[in-house]
Amino acid sequence: MNIRQNGSKKDRRCRLAVKEGLYYGTTGLWPLLHLPSFLWVTGPKRDLWLVRTVGALVAVSGVTLLAAGRRGRVTPEIALLGAGQSAAFFLIDTVYALRGRIAKIYLADAVLQLGLLAAWGLAGRGQPPEGKN
């Protein structure tokens, strides 16, 4: 792993990308590997092909974040992927869980997503952008 531990902006972003990548990789693979337990926790779904499709896409973005973080190569585009995905999941989880369209367990994920989004904001503060030092 190429992540240094000196607390720089780059290091914070790399550690965050690894953590978010592990979370998305795991949660994305879950419905692909054991759909019954996924449905037991998240509630019944009508279109199982869509559950699997979203799972695969989330897993791919998770592996991308994980690889970038481990290599110490969290570019602004990778940070946008991490923050943007967190924002999207936060909004979807919150709106549809409160409307009763998806199970309330998704509100727990919304809290986690909001934390990830805040972490991306904090990871980029305090130092000039990469290449401007």
Which of helix, strand or coil describes residue 120? helix
Q: What predicted TM-score, i.e. pTM, was given to this entire model? A: 0.86
* pLDDT reported for residue 131: 53
- Tell me what the pLDDT averaged over the chain comes to: 91
Is it the case that residue 9 has pLDDT exceeding 90? no
pLDDT of amino acid 48: 97
Q: Which residues of 66-98 are buried (b: 16+ CB within 10 A; e: fewer)?
A: bebbeeeebeeebbebbbebbeebbebbbeebe
The pLDDT of residue 133 is 43
Q: Tell me the per-residue pLDDT of 105-130, one tens digit each, with 9 for 90 and over.
A: 999 999 999 999 999 999 987 555 55
The pLDDT assigned to 12 comes to 93
Residue range 50-106, pLDDT digits in tens: 999 999 999 999 999 999 999 999 999 999 999 999 999 999 999 999 999 999 999
